[in-house]
């Protein structure tokens, strides 16, 4: 198989760079990328609320809603690693444009379908599965394209700005989606999501690129194995990825699942959890600002500090602290989660060769996202078996133990924030 790779103007310094032209195109490309990412993220945040209530408003049960949401999540888990290999072989920008167009068409048809009186569940499942396929290919290509758009020394700030945009849209999107649902226009919210994908595809299409270069033919399975070898020979990456999986099971799921459960039996429980959820969004902004202005020379130490912050909200929920106090824990949770993601993303971008970047990010993302359904199911089962408080306390212990173990590993202290 002969593959083509896309080389951007920022990679090859030349006369334009000496005159400042390369810096201009780097800024131009990043602004187009920033607008594309922000637009599609806002639309996705809106549709997360709109699709849920659109399904329920047609009289479907919670089980049907679960099937619909699972149909969108499953392709990401199944296709993420192969999609990472494809993104390392073929032009990443082109893959992202194709994924955007697929998601735009799927969401547009979903809006039309849900505007009808009796939408077909089978058709809805098929359409949201196409969105999931687009998500599976967009993510690895996006993570591999960022280092091409920014210099190595700017990656931390670039990732932080993208995270801040994501945190803000995560707060605004559900509110806008909820407003549209409240006036009876859930299909319009879904249609707006389709429009944001069109905006994203347009911006990405205007990014300036050089003529693609050619690489030698490589069998696809060999390409996958090469990516696994690149992952396996970095022990710090294995440790970081394994701990993220542990945090998924011991911190993320207990907080997001057992938090609402703990408040469900209290007066104004839904409103209280809404306050805490908003605090998580605020914490995400705080975490993005911290990374924007603080350069950690040993990134994995900062990674462990962020992981330890996740203990705070679990402990407060276990102690049944007042809602304002738990909201402060929610700020710690949001900040810790964003710092974990930003440190992981930036460190991988600076330590892994560009030609293997999408495969490595896909393997990390498989643990980050692939364990989410399992962690939710395990958390609910354990809470029902032994109670909410023991699960929260166990989460505190497991997270704390993982931090202590990794701080005892020499790789945590030896890895420096310099390009490999």
CB 147 within 8 A of CB 11: no
Rounding to the nearest 10 degrees, give the CA dihedral for residues 251, 256, 262, 268.
150
| First-to-last C-alpha distance (Å) of the chain | 29
Lookup result for tokens 């020979």: 233
3-class SS of residue 213: strand
Could you read off the pLDDT of 250-289 as tens digits, one per residue? Answer: 998 888 878 877 776 777 676 787 788 778 888 988 988 8
Out of 51-65, 77-91, 144-158, 283-297, pick the least confident: 51-65
CB 199 within 8 A of CB 39: yes
3-class SS of residue 45: helix
Residue 309 has pLDDT above 60, yes or no: yes
Instruction: Determine the pLDDT at residue 264.
Output: 67
Contacts of 68 by beta carbon, 8 Å cutoff, 6+ apart: 51, 55, 121, 124, 125, 128
Between CA 376 and CA 239 the distance in angstroms is 23
Tokens of 15: 């006369």
In order of their start, the domains of the chain are 3-218 (1.20.1250.20), 234-414 (1.20.1250.20)
Between CA 252 and CA 245 the distance in angstroms is 10
Between CA 106 and CA 130 the distance in angstroms is 6
CB 182 within 8 A of CB 191: no
CB 32 within 8 A of CB 204: yes
CB 243 within 8 A of CB 399: no
Helix (H) or strand (E) holding 3: strand 3-5
Helix (H) or strand (E) holding 153: none
Residue 18 has pLDDT above 60, yes or no: no
Could you read off the pLDDT of 158-207 as tens digits, one per residue? Answer: 888 887 887 787 777 777 777 777 776 778 888 888 999 999 999 999 88
Instruction: Determine the pLDDT at residue 200.
Output: 93
CB 392 within 8 A of CB 254: yes
Out of 14-28, 52-66, 262-276, 290-304, pick the least confident: 14-28
Tokens of 113: 């379908």
pTM: 0.71
């Amino acid at each position: 198989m002969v593959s083509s790779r896309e080389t951007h103007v920022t990679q090859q310094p030349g006369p334009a760079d000496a005159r400042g032209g390369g810096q201009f195109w780097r800024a131009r490309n990043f602004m187009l990328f920033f607008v594309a990412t922000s637009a599609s993220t806002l639309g996705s945040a809106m549709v997360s609320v709109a699709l849920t209530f659109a399904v329920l408003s047609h009289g479907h049960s919670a089980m049907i809603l679960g099937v619909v949401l699972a149909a969108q999540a499953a392709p990401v888990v199944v296709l993420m690693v192969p999609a990472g290999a494809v993104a390392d072989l073929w032009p990443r920008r082109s893959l992202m444009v194709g994924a955007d167009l697929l998601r735009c068409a799927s969401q547009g048809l979903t809006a039309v379908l849900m505007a009808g009186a009796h939408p077909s569940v089978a058709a809805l499942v098929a359409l949201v599965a196409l969105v999931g396929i687009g998500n599976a290919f967009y993510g690895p290509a996006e993570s591999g394209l960022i280092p091409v758009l920014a210099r190595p020394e700017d990656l931390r700030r670039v990732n932080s700005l993208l995270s801040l945009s994501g945190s803000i849209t995560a707060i605004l999107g559900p509110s806008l989606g909820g407003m549209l649902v409240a006036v009876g226009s859930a299909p319009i919210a879904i249609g707006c999501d389709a429009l944001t994908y069109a905006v994203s595809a347009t911006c990405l299409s205007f990014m300036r690129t050089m003529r693609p270069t050619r690489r030698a033919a490589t069998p696809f399975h060999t390409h996958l194995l090469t990516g696994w070898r690149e992952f396996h020979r970095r022990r710090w990456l294995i440790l970081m990825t394994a701990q993220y999986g542990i945090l998924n099971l011991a911190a993320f799921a207990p907080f997001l699942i057992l938090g609402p459960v703990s408040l469900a039996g209290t007066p104004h429980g839904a409103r209280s959890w809404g306050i805490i959820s908003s605090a998580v969004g605020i914490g995400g902004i705080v975490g993005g600002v911290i990374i924007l202005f603080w350069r950690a020379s040993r990134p994995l130490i900062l990674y462990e500090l962020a992981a330890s912050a996740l203990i705070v909200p679990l402990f407060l929920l276990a102690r049944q602290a007042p809602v304002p106090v738990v909201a402060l824990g929610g700020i710690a949770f949001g900040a810790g989660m964003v710092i974990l993601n930003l440190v992981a993303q930036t460190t991988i971008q600076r330590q892994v060769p560009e030609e293997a970047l999408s495969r490595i990010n896909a393997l990390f993302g498989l643990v980050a996202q692939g364990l989410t359904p399992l962690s939710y199911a395990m958390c609910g089962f354990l809470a029902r078996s032994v109670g909410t408080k023991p699960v929260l306390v166990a989460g505190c212990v497991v997270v704390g133990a993982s931090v202590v173990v990794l701080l005892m590993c020499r790789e945590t202290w030896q890895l420096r924030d310099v390009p490999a």
